[in-house]
Amino acid sequence: MLFIYEEINFSVGEDTFVRSGIDASKTVVFDDNEETGYFYAISRENGMEVLDALHIYDVASVVDKHVPSVLKILWTEDESTVFLSINDYYHAVFDFRNQAGYCRNAFPGPRSPWTEVKERELTDQLIERLIIDRI
């Protein structure tokens, strides 16, 4: 089961910053800086350390950016996995238990020492597995 922790209306290409944290140790941030959209996993144990970053979109490539969107950040019941949904479509996932980040375009590849997976493409099958494994 997934729980919505943050839900906002926003427009792609407008400065947007959304943070969602479950406990004192981990949080996620969605950031649209008017050029790109990124989803970040952050550790709050030693300040605000970025563990991983996932590319969501380039504003110039989004054809319907003029249409308002709904962004949701959803956490699993055990608080180990977080999903980024835009218009009810999952764009990214951070699995804190397995130190893994996934997004639809698998960009960037694993660059951070935190990330323990090589394959980062988010698929519908992976989403189903992550949800089922956490309930």
pLDDT digits (tens, 9 = 90+) for 75-125: 998 889 999 999 999 999 999 999 999 999 999 887 778 888 889 999 999
pLDDT in tens, 37-86: 999 999 987 778 899 999 999 999 999 999 999 999 999 988 899 999 99
Poorest-pLDDT segment among 13-17, 85-89, 97-101, 131-135: 131-135
Of 50, 54, 20, nearest in space to 114 by CA: 50
**Cis previous bond, 108, omega within 30:** yes
Helix (H) or strand (E) holding 94: strand 89-95
Among residues 129, 51, 119, 118, the alpha carbon closest in space to that of 90 is found at 129
Token pair 């910053």: residue: 17
Q: Which of 20, 26, 40, 31 is nearest to 93 (CA)?
A: 40
Structural domain for 7, as ranges? 2-133
Could you tell me the pTM of the whole model?
0.93
| Domains of the chain: total | 1
Rounded CA separation 48/53 (Å): 13
